[in-house]
Amino acid sequence: MTHLDTQLTVLNFPKETSWYNSGVFLDKNRQYETMCKLVDHFKAVPNDFSVIAFYQLGGVIHKRAVDETCFPSAANNEWDAVFFAAWPSQDKVASKCRSWVREGY
Is position 88 within any domain? yes
Is 3 a residue whose pLDDT tops 50? no
Whether 79 and 105 have beta carbons less than 8 Å apart is answered as: no
Is position 11 within any domain? no
Is position 72 within any domain? yes
> What SS3 class is residue 102?
helix
Is position 6 within any domain? no
* pLDDT tens, residue by residue, 63-94: 777 777 776 666 678 888 899 898 887 778 88
Is position 41 within any domain? yes
In this prediction, residue 5 carries a pLDDT of 44
Which structural domain range is residue 53 located in?
Answer: 18-104
Number of domains in the chain: 1
* pLDDT tens, residue by residue, 12-71: 666 678 888 898 888 888 888 988 999 899 999 998 888 898 888 766 667 777 777 776
pTM over 0.75: no
Q: How far is 94 from 44, CA to CA, in rounded Å?
A: 15
Average pLDDT of the chain?
Answer: 78
In this prediction, residue 69 carries a pLDDT of 72
In this prediction, residue 40 carries a pLDDT of 93
Query: Which amino acid would we find at residue 49?
Result: F
Residue 72 CA: distances (Å) to CA of 28, 54, 80: 14, 20, 15
Residue 97's CATH number: 3.40.462.20
Whether 49 and 85 have beta carbons less than 8 Å apart is answered as: yes
